[in-house]
Amino acid sequence: MRPVIALLLLAALGIGGCDRQSAPGSQANETLQAPTPNGSEAGEKVVEEVIGTLDRSHKGEAAPAIAFTTPGGAKGSMADFRGKPVLLNLWATWCVPCVKEMPTLDALAVSLGDKAQVVVLSQDLDGAAKVTPFFEKAKFQKLQPYLDSDAAFSLSMAINLPTTILYDSNGKEVWRMLGGMDWTGQTARELVAEAN
């Protein structure tokens, strides 16, 4: 009889654990979730922020010295932006979450004005052949097409797309966001404000 009871208890624990969400990650790789509003009315539409995974494990590391192509066709690097915080977004035209977050990055760039620079660095291997038509169609207000046709940034950092990295005015990493993000949300504004 005892083995049957023990098996039933184990089965109940196993079934009960299937519905649990995993615990939040450590600070080095924490998952942020937008707070849900309290007391929302029945039938009221609740819009939640889309938030990727925040990674602070590279805090203080210098921006890579990898060359890329500027919107004007010249060679540039992250050192060109020293003196102002930079939000570097690594993306590609074939990456669905990347394309989805681009309008929100543009809105963020507009709202930041001259306080920080938003750099969207394409990892498309076809470079301008893919990116130029994308930008022409999108008609962004502030974003400009920077190109890394060798995908040197994403390959050297061993990261997936989209990844967005915040650098402070000295070119040191503050954090990186892995995955898509709604850059118009309150959480994004608070995170970007961490750079000086």
Average pLDDT, rounded, for the chain: 83
Residue (of 50, 49, 51, 57) closest to 29 by Cα position: 57
pLDDT of 97-150, one tens digit each?
Answer: 999 999 999 999 999 999 999 999 999 999 999 999 999 999 999 999 999 999
More confident residue, 9 or 138: 138
Structure confidence at residue 12 (pLDDT): 37
Structure confidence at residue 22 (pLDDT): 35
Structure confidence at residue 38 (pLDDT): 46
pLDDT at 74 over 50: yes
Residue (of 50, 131, 138) closest to 90 by Cα position: 131
Strands 86-91 and 53-55, by their bridges, are unpaired
Tell me what the mean pLDDT of segment 70-96 comes to: 97
Tell me what the mean pLDDT of segment 178-194 comes to: 94
More confident residue, 13 or 176: 176
Tell me what the mean pLDDT of segment 46-62 comes to: 86
Q: How far apart are CA 89 and CA 2, in angstroms?
A: 59
